[in-house]
């Protein structure tokens, strides 16, 4: 039984970790970390957990926690994990960080986009970018996982096969992404009030969203050369779900079948990636609550472009589900242990 501590268990991603791990036969949560609900029952933060979790939230020292658990998930604001990580902790426990602290390998890039001085940059190189479909082997032996962002997970996996196979023009990539509102977190902000989000659609962070360098870094690995992309996120009046609609120019004329074959081959052994049948495009409702990524593509011969569409649940494959997938790999479990979550509809 893997002993788990969650720092930041009362944010949306933290709660989703709790939901998934409660259903995981080989993991047990020992510590529900929270500053805002310290010394309160966990179910006071999330009443769905009444009678399911009787634990009290705590805000104790990471050092002590590292002695007691096999893995720590940090579902905390950017800057937290990098401020506490050290050799002592990593020698005792594994760490899966759901924040951005260890995702960006270039320190200048990190500083530029996040505006935070990194406090443990020496561990950035050790940290493995936890996208199992791409980095599975490295994850197996990692001590520290940089769990990918929600937009990057969906964007990278939707685009990587065609970049890797040099099918599309690397300078032509445009990613138009749409996210449910849980991606904005549980902080009390006017912009995220029901009446402000409901019945509206908007772009935000236009040209400046912090997931841009993360997407570019990983797509560059797939492409083999530096990448600069356009990425525009949008806020959708729904709780969960990310839809990525990506556009690129084809390097040469190809049929839809040829392109879909590339995806099928690339993901043929993957549990959590579903390449949809021709003509059926991803919709976020069909992955809600599950760890699936649905993908399909369309060739537009009139403009010689390929439209690539991917959908995930931002809290599952985009955060907590992927974190558990990483945990499973790190501990030698079946990769889908606790993750056979059937999408909930309607």
Nearer to a second copy, 23 or 61 (CB): 23
The set of residues, in sequence order, having a beta carbon less than 8 Å from that of 315 and lying 6+ positions away, is: 12, 13, 16, 150, 182, 240, 321
Handedness of CA 142, 147, 152, 158 (dihedral sign): positive
Nearer to a second copy, 153 or 182 (CB): 182
At CA 340, angle to CA 334 and CA 346, rounded to 5?
Answer: 165
CA nearest to 231, candidates 167, 295, 303, 158? 158
Number of residues forming the site for a second copy (CB under 8 A): 82
Handedness of CA 85, 328, 314, 136 (dihedral sign): positive
Should residue 107 be labelled a site residue for a second copy when binding is judged by CB under 8 A?
A: no
Nearer to a second copy, 12 or 151 (CB): 12
Judge whether 197 and 264 are in contact, CB under 8 Å. Answer: no
Should residue 343 be labelled a site residue for a second copy when binding is judged by CB under 8 A?
A: yes
Query: Of residues 25, 51, 252, 268, which one binds a second copy by CB under 8 A?
Result: 51
For residue 41, the cross-strand partners are: 56
Judge whether 231 and 175 are in contact, CB under 8 Å. Answer: yes
- Cβ 323 to a second copy shortest distance, Å: 17
Q: Which of residues 188-207 bind a second copy (CB under 8 A)?
A: 188-190, 192-204, 206-207
Q: Which of 57, 150, 154, 195 is catalytic?
A: 150
Q: Which of residues 265-324 bind a second copy (CB under 8 A)?
A: 274, 276, 280-290, 294, 298-300, 302-303, 305, 307, 309, 311
- Cβ 62 to a second copy shortest distance, Å: 26
Ranges of beta strands (E only) in 89-167 are: 94-97, 128-129, 144-146
Interacting stretch for a second copy, rule CB under 8 A, among 123-131, 155-163, 233-241, 324-332?
233-241
Nearer to a second copy, 36 or 122 (CB): 36
Nearer to a second copy, 19 or 221 (CB): 19
CA gap 2, 308 in Å, rounded:
38
Should residue 219 be labelled a site residue for a second copy when binding is judged by CB under 8 A?
A: no
For residue 97, the cross-strand partners are: 74, 146
Should residue 234 be labelled a site residue for a second copy when binding is judged by CB under 8 A?
A: yes
Should residue 167 be labelled a site residue for a second copy when binding is judged by CB under 8 A?
A: no
- Cβ 265 to a second copy shortest distance, Å: 16
Among this protein's residues, is 150 annotated catalytic? yes
Interacting stretch for a second copy, rule CB under 8 A, among 62-70, 149-157, 223-231, 258-266?
223-231
For residue 229 the two structure tokens come to 């992309």
- Cβ 81 to a second copy shortest distance, Å: 24
- Cβ 342 to a second copy shortest distance, Å: 5
The set of residues, in sequence order, having a beta carbon less than 8 Å from that of 309 and lying 6+ positions away, is: 158, 243, 244, 245, 246, 281, 282, 295, 296, 297, 298
Nearer to a second copy, 34 or 290 (CB): 290
Q: Is the peptide bond before 261 cis (omega within 30 degrees of 0)?
A: no
Bridge pairing between strands 94-97 and 128-129:
unpaired
- Cβ 296 to a second copy shortest distance, Å: 9
Q: Which residues are catalytic?
A: 150
């Amino acid at each position: 039984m893997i002993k788990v501590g969650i720092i930041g268990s009362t944010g949306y991603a933290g709660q989703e970790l709790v939901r998934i791990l409660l259903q995981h036969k080989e993991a047990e949560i020992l510590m529900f970390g929270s500053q805002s609900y310290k010394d309160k029952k966990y179910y006071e933060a999330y009443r769905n957990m009444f009678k399911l979790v009787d634990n009290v939230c705590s805000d104790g020292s990471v050092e002590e926690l590292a002695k007691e658990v096999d893995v720590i998930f940090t579902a905390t604001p950017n800057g937290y994990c990098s401020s506490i990580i050290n050799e002592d902790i990593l020698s005792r426990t594994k760490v899966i960080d759901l924040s951005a602290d260890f995702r960006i390998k270039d320190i200048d890039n990190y500083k530029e986009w996040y505006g935070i001085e990194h406090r443990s940059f020496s561990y950035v190189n050790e940290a493995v970018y936890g996208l199992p479909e791409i980095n599975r082997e490295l994850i197996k032996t990692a001590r520290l996982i940089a769990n990918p962002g929600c937009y990057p997970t969906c964007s990278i996996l939707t685009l990587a096969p065609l970049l890797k196979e040099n099918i599309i023009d690397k300078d032509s990539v445009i990613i138009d992404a749409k996210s449910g509102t849980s991606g904005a977190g549980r902080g009390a902000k006017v912009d995220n009030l029901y009446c402000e989000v409901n019945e509206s659609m908007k772009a935000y962070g236009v040209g400046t969203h912090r997931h841009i360098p993360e997407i570019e870094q990983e797509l560059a690995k797939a492409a083999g050369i530096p990448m600069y992309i356009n990425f525009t996120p949008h806020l959708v009046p729904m709780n969960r779900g990310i839809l990525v609609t990506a556009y690129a120019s084809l390097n040469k004329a190809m049929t839809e079948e040829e392109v879909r074959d590339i995806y099928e081959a690339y993901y043929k052994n993957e549990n959590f990636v579903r390449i949809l049948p021709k003509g059926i495009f991803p919709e976020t409702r069909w992955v809600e609550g599950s760890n699936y990524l649905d993908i399909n593509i369309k060739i537009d011969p009139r403009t010689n472009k390929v439209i690539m569409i991917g959908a995930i649940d931002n809290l599952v494959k985009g955060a907590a589900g992927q974190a558990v997938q990483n945990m499973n790999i790190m501990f030698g479990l079946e990769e889908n242990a606790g993750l056979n979550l059937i999408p909930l509809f309607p």
